[in-house]
Structures are given as structure tokens and as C-alpha cells.
Structure 1
Amino acid sequence: MKIAVLGTGGGARAHIARLGGLGHEVHVGTRDPRATLARTEPDMMGTPPFGSWLADHPGIELHTFTEAAERGELVINGIDSHNAVAALSAAAEQLAGKTLIDYAVPFVYNPDIAHPWPTPWGVMPTLDPCDSDSLAEQIQRALPDTKVVKAFVTQEQDTVVDPKAIGGGEHTMFIAGEHADAKRQTTDLLKAYGWSDILDLGPLVAARGMELYAHMHSAIGFALGFGTHFGIKVVR
């Protein structure tokens, strides 16, 4: 299958490499391919420049967001949350009728708030939107002809693409969306990644809880030791 991954950060790279290993034709989208390849410094999370990473992954093609969306039969959104709606809206025609799996968290970095939460990398980002809306719902409203599924967001992406690295894979992945066929397609991809426990939370409004979980996930990670990978299991 031709799969587009929109974004070039560490999470996107996990999907790009795994999809390539599964035999898919992967097209990567970025805002400005020339600028992306010209970067020589790590990003804010310490991720090495994409150009050096790409050199070790032959066969991966880099395009603009719109060009990648056009080529993909299935699209995975890893565009940072502040820019996601605008960038995806610009590719609305290319995304029409397709499944878009969104794993972005609507973080607002360096917030000026009364009671900040200190973390190893600075103040914990706040979430916007939250409670009465979600980034996934905003994307769906902006792209009414696209089938948006919220998934992958409750795990580090390295774990999403290799669930068996944690507890032999005995943990739970959540999905939500309005389109049954798109959720089936997402489930098929998760099974190919190695997931066996996939819990459908229902309509896309459930993305609000999935995105809000980001703070709980961070809190657990700090308690276990920063950088520790872990999974969450829903026990029935």
C-alpha cells in the first residue's frame, strides 16, 4: 500500500521505518522539503536532523504535505498540533475520501500560567483545545470529506510500531472516529504492527479523553523514570 506520513519528527520516523519494513511504499510530507533537508541541528527534543536520518533509509521519498497526501492511499498525521489544521486544510482535495490517522497532541509550548508543571525539558505544555473540543474534531470539521481516526496518541510512537517491546505486547491501544471503514483500516494497520488488544472508544468525541491522557502518560513516565517505556492495559 502507498502510505503517506506527514511529519519528520521522531514519532513520524518510527512509522516511516516500520512501514518500509512491512513492505509499504512510504511518502513523507514536510512543509518545505528543501529546508528540512538543509537542517543540521537537532530539534527541540534532541532529534537528529531528518536529512542524516533519511540517508540511512533509502527508498523513502520526501515531498510537501500536499504532494505526500496526494500519493498516499492511507495518511498518518504527525504534524505538530499548532500547524496541523492549517496544513491539512491546504491538502483537503488530496485527502478527500481517504483515512487520516491522527496522533497529534494539541500542546501549547512554554505556556505562561500561574501554576506551571516543571519537567525535565521545561514547563509542561498546556492543551488547547481541551474539555469541550479536540484537535481530531477540529481536523474533521476542517476536512469533512476525510475519514479522521484518532489513534496512536496514548503511546510513544516507537511503542505504537512495536508493541511487543513492552510486556510482550499485552497492553491496549485506543481508536475513535465516525467512519467504521476507516477504523477497520486503522485496526488492520495496528494488527500489522503487532497489536492484539485494540479498544474502539466510539465516535470522534472520545478523542478529547485520548488527547487529555497525554498529561497522565507524562506523569506515569516521570514516576517510572524519564525515558522509561510502558504500556497501559484495560482489564475487562
Structure 2
Amino acid sequence: MTIAVLGTGGGARCHIAKLLELGHDVVVGTRDPGATLARTEPDMMGTPPFRQFLGEHPRIELQAFGDAAAASNGLVISGIDGHNAVRALSAIADQLAGKTLIDYAVPFVYRHEPEHPWPTPWGIMPKLEPVDTDSLGEQIQRALPRTKVVKSFVTQEQSTVVDPKSVGGGEHTMFVAGEDADAKQQAVDLLTSYGWTDILDLGPLVAARGMEMYAHMHSAIGFGLGQQFGGHFGIKVVR
């Protein structure tokens, strides 16, 4: 299967490498392939330049967002950051039409001045926008009415999403939400191939609000465990 991964950051790279390991063909999308390949410095998270990753994974094709989406034969994973996702995906609506789009972004706003800041080891906690009465997942679906949007992966670090057994032998829970049953099943099938055995369908895409808002709790748990960046832990729904 040819799967498109939109984005070249650390999370996207986790999916790219795992999909290749599982035998899929992977087309990677970026805003400007030339600019992406020209970078020689790590990004803000310390992730090495993508050209280094590309050299280690010669089977990857790097293309513009729209070309990558068009090359997939049904499944697209969006690793585009939450601040830019709606705009970037709206620009390639035709190439995404009829396809399943799994979105795992959190709609963080990093440059803000809250009245009561939450100090973190790396600055202040970003705020969520939208929050409570809307979600990024829903915004993407409204912008892409011909695309089947599924919200998933968002409650875990992507390194754990692609390797659930690295935490507690895999005994934790992953969530999916969306309006299309077949699209959600595609996400479930992918998660199963990653090694997940406990996948909870939260129902319609409105549940993306809860998944996105969980991001703050995820950070709080990580801080409580002494993990300043990311979080090597899982959550389990006991029922």
C-alpha cells in the first residue's frame, strides 16, 4: 500500500520508518521539498535535518504536500503542526478527496501571554486554540468535506504510537474518532499492525475535542514522572 505522510518532523519520521518496516511504500509531503533538503541545522526540537533521515531511508519519495497526497492510494497521515494544518490541507483539498486522513496534531499556540502562566521546563505551556467548543479535527473535516477525517494517535508520543509494546508490554489504550466507519476501521487496522491490542472507538469526530485537550494532562503526567520532553508512558482504560 502506498501511504502518504505529510510532514517531516520527529513524529512524522516515526510513522515513516515504521511504515517502511511493515512493507508499505511511503511518499512524504513537505511544503517546499527544496527548502526541506537545504536545511542543515536541527529544528526547534533538536531533530536532525531531514536530508540525513532521507539518506538513511532511500526508499522514501519526498514531494510537495499535494503531490504526496495524490500519490497515496487511500490513506494519508497528517503530521502538519496544528497552527498550520487547516490552511495547508485546504490548499490540497482536491488531492485529498475521497481519501482517509488521520490527523494527530494538537492545536497549540506557543506565543501567548496568559494571565496565569503554567511554567514548564522549556518555557510556559502553550494554549489550545480551538478548545472546548471546537477542535482542530473538526475544523479540518469542515475544510475538507470530501475527505474522511479520523482523529487518532494524538494521546501519545508518536514514538510510542508506532511501538506500543515499548511501554508496559503494550497494555495501554489508543483512541479513534471520526464520522466514517470505514475510515476509522482503516485507522484501527493500521494501529493493529503497529501492535496495538486495545483500541477504543470514541464515536463521532466531536470527541477530538477531548483527545486534543488531553495534551495538557499528558504533559502534566510526564512532568510528574520527571520526563521533561515527551512522555514514555501509557494510559489504560480499565473496563
TM-score (norm 1): 0.99
1:85 aligns with 2:74: no
Q: CA deviation at 1:203?
A: 0.2
1:151 corresponds to which letter in structure 2?
S
Q: CA deviation at 1:100?
A: 0.2
The equivalent of 1:163 in structure 2 is: 164
- Determine helix, strand or coil for the equivalent of 1:155: coil
The equivalent of 1:134 in structure 2 is: 135
The equivalent of 1:12 in structure 2 is: 12
The equivalent of 1:38 in structure 2 is: 38
- Determine helix, strand or coil for the equivalent of 2:28: strand
CA distance in 2, matches of 1:113, 1:234: 33
Describe the superposition over 1:6-54 as per-residue Cα deviations: whole angstroms up to 9, x where unpaired.
Answer: 0000000000000000000000000000001111111111111111111
Describe the superposition over 1:166-218 as per-residue Cα deviations: whole angstroms up to 9, x where unpaired.
Answer: 00000000000000000001000000000000000000000000000000000
The equivalent of 2:191 in structure 1 is: 190
Cα pair 1:4 1:26 within 8 Å, conserved: yes
1:235 aligns with 2:238: yes
1:199 aligns with 2:200: yes
Describe the superposition over 1:76-104 as per-residue Cα deviations: whole angstroms up to 9, x where unpaired.
Answer: 00101111011101111110010000000
CA distance in 2, matches of 1:87, 1:9: 15
CA distance in 2, matches of 1:119, 1:53: 30
The equivalent of 1:217 in structure 2 is: 218
CA distance in 2, matches of 1:120, 1:46: 15
- Determine helix, strand or coil for the equivalent of 1:40: coil
Structure 2 unmatched ranges of 5 or more: none
CA distance in 1, matches of 2:223, 2:37: 33
1:66 aligns with 2:66: yes
- Determine helix, strand or coil for the equivalent of 1:181: helix
Q: CA deviation at 1:119?
A: 1.3
Structure 1 unmatched ranges of 5 or more: none
TM-score (norm 2): 0.97
Q: CA deviation at 1:117?
A: 1.1
1:150 corresponds to which letter in structure 2?
K
The equivalent of 2:145 in structure 1 is: 144
CA distance in 2, matches of 1:229, 1:132: 30
Cα pair 1:110 1:123 within 8 Å, conserved: no
Cα pair 1:154 1:214 within 8 Å, conserved: yes
1:178 corresponds to which letter in structure 2?
E
CA distance in 2, matches of 1:126, 1:30: 25
- Determine helix, strand or coil for the equivalent of 2:14: helix
CA distance in 2, matches of 1:23, 1:38: 28
- Determine helix, strand or coil for the equivalent of 1:131: coil
1:133 corresponds to which letter in structure 2?
D
- Report sequence identity in percent: 76
Cα pair 1:153 1:210 within 8 Å, conserved: yes
Describe the superposition over 1:60-79 as per-residue Cα deviations: whole angstroms up to 9, x where unpaired.
Answer: 01001001000112100010
- Determine helix, strand or coil for the equivalent of 2:237: coil
The equivalent of 1:118 in structure 2 is: 119
2:46 corresponds to which letter in structure 1?
G
Q: CA deviation at 1:110?
A: 2.5
1:175 aligns with 2:176: yes
4+ aligned runs moved over 4 Å, structure 1: none
Q: CA deviation at 1:114?
A: 1.1
